[in-house]
Amino acid sequence: MSTPTTHDTASWQAADAAHFLHPFTDFQQLAQKGSRIITKADNLYLTDSEGNRLFDAMSGLWCVNVGYGQQSLIDAAAHQMKELPFYNSFFQTTTPPAVELAQLLAEVTPPQFQHVFYAGSGSEGNDTVVRMVRRYWDLQGQPERQVIISRWNGYHGSTMAGASLGGMKYMHAQGGLPIPGITHIDQPHWLEHGAGMTRDAFGLKAAGWLEQKILEVGPDKVAAFIGEPVQGAGGVIVPPATYWPEIQRICDKYNILLVSDEVICGFGRTGNWFGCETMGTKPDLMTFAKGVTSGYIPLGGVMVGDRVAKALIEQGGEFEHGYTYSGHPVACAVAIANIKLIQSLKLVERVRDETGPYLAAQFAKLNDHPLIGETQTCGLMASMQLVKAKDRGDGHPAMFDSALEVGMLCRGHCFANGLVMRAVGDRMIIAPPLVMTIAQVDELMGLIHKCLDLTLGDVR
Ligand code: PLP
């Protein structure tokens, strides 16, 4: 097939179907329907090959925190490409952007973090976590501490270790996962598991599942617990306020490393620089990616807390792990420009004090809509549960039959009306760019109301 040279949607779609195997995609179905082709973007808005304008309420894939078209990031990439497009950080070499970013990360992360290990993505970051926590316990003379506990319906990436840490059963079903030494507990999702309980009481109960699992595995065999401060891909599930402090207490009690996966929650999303600050935990390791460069170029990594860094540096000898693109100079230069822009635009403060609370107030009003059974927000991430009835008799909503695919119906109305919103089952979720203004929150809410009404028309 010849390469399409013009902006002709049909020819791009044909070439796409013929050659490109997309991630998390039914290839045959995509070939039948044809891809949507995104050609340009600015601020919060995408343009497709048909000239349609879309409000991107998902920041690309939870990553374009500073919005599209930021010149300082573009300039940083161009400058670094000319200066030094690549050099590695193996064999006792380094590059100025990798060093400068390491310093800057130590400034913007909580005080226990003075060191970074770079990777190319969030998944590679979490693979690094698995290697690192097991190495840490080897160095402590406790090599039997191998087991990492994570949660069902958590998401930690798509590599063998990332998908194993994740709790997506449909991912485990392909490729013989999870790998050994990883075990899961239920998620702190009040709608699923908390019937008849207050949210706070449920939060303590859900954290207690960690203690039960530690006792089941044996405390001297558990290396770490990993979780997202707010589960993103699982459906923007904001845990009860009691959950994370109790998780921290349990990790401290059994001397287990706490890993915060900040790939979505990092870099301002929750109204603090990192989600662990919003949830009140003090993790030993923190995975990051996405928002570190606002997705303009791939970069991920792990912030390594003093406890683990000290052992690796003072006792560890060579750490047999790393990637060609660990500390990629162009990616690091873009990350520096991105972090400086977040600082100069005061995006974290804006999310915490202005747009986050305003979005929360608007989402609370959605509870009056007949289709909505629950809304949750945290900073600039939010979810709403589409339900058949608000109360099935015990204070909990009645869900739709999943075969009706009501979430997909709603998502279809969103696309058709210029809004990118994601459906996780019947849970509609957003994570818009942090540059969103109050007027743009109003614009977004108008679109959401319209799409909910259209969906209601389909199901009632
Ligand atoms: N961890 C979390 C919490 C994520 O949401 C993701 C991706 O969505 C990852 C890890 C994996 O990151 P990547 O897709 O960059 O490998």
Q: What band does 132 get if pLDDT is binned at 50, 70 and 90?
A: very high
Torsion over CA: 140, 143, 144, 148 (sign): positive
Task: Tell whether the model's pLDDT for residue 259 goes beyond 50.
Answer: yes
Tell me what pLDDT residue 395 has.
82
What is the average per-residue pLDDT within 407-430? 98
pLDDT at position 4, please? 47
Mean pLDDT, range 383-393, rounded to an integer: 94
Dist CA 2 CA 48 (whole Å) = 22
**Mean pLDDT computed over 40-49:** 97
What pLDDT is attached to residue 204? 98
Q: At residue 313, does pLDDT exceed 70?
A: yes
**Is residue 262 within 6 Å of ligand 1 at its C-beta?**
no
Average pLDDT over every residue of 28-47: 96
Question: What is the Cα–Cα distance from 435 to 346, expressed in whole angstroms?
Answer: 10
Between CA 418 and CA 248 the distance in angstroms is: 42
125 alpha carbon – ligand 1 mean position (Å): 9
**232 pocket-lining for ligand 1 (C-beta < 6 Å):** yes
Residue 119 host element (H or E):
strand 113-119
Residue carrying structure tokens 């405390």: 219
Indicate the average pLDDT of the chain. Answer: 97
Closest CA to 133 of 347, 308, 381: 308
Please give the distance, rounded to the nearest whole angstrom, from the Cα atom of residue 155 to the centre of ligand 1: 7
Query: How much is the pLDDT for 392?
Result: 87
Distance from the alpha carbon of residue 60 to the mean position of ligand 1, in angstroms: 13
pLDDT at 17 over 80: yes
Question: What confidence category does residue 71 fall into, taking pLDDT thresholds of 50, 70 and 90?
Answer: very high
5 has a pLDDT exceeding 90 = no
Side chain identity at residue 111, one-letter code: P
Question: Percent of the chain at pLDDT above 90?
Answer: 97
Distance of CA 339 to the CA centre of its chain: 18
Assess whether pLDDT exceeds 80 at residue 283: yes
Please tell me the predicted confidence (pLDDT) of residue 6.
Answer: 56
Half-sphere exposure of 315 (CA within 13 A, CB side): 12
- How much distance in Å is there from the Cα of 288 to the middle of ligand 1? 8
Residue-wise pLDDT for 337-375, tens only, equals 999 999 999 999 999 999 999 999 999 999 999 999 999
Number of Cβ within a 10 Å radius of residue 424: 18
Contacts 24+ apart (CB under 8 A), 88-92: 88/324, 88/326, 88/327, 89/118, 89/322, 89/326, 89/327, 90/322, 90/326
Phi, psi of 350, deg, nearest 5: -60, -45
The answer to whether ipTM exceeds 0.85 is yes
Give the atom of ligand 1 at the shortest distance from the alpha carbon of 228: 3
How many CB atoms are located within 10 Å of the residue 211 CB? 18
**Strand 38-42 to strand 113-119: parallel, antiparallel, or no bridges (unpaired)?**
unpaired
C-alpha distances (whole Å) from 219 to each of 215, 249, 383 are: 6, 14, 35
Q: How far apart are CA 161 and CA 49, in angstroms?
A: 37
When pLDDT is cut at 50, 70 and 90, the band that residue 460 belongs to is: confident
- Confidence class of residue 7 from pLDDT cuts 50, 70 and 90? low
Q: Judge contact between 236 and 383, C-beta under 8 A.
A: yes
Q: Which of 270-274, 336-340, 387-391 has the lowest mean pLDDT?
A: 387-391
Ligand 1 neighbour 166 (Cβ under 6 A) = no
Q: How confident is the model at residue 203 (pLDDT cuts 50, 70, 90)?
A: very high
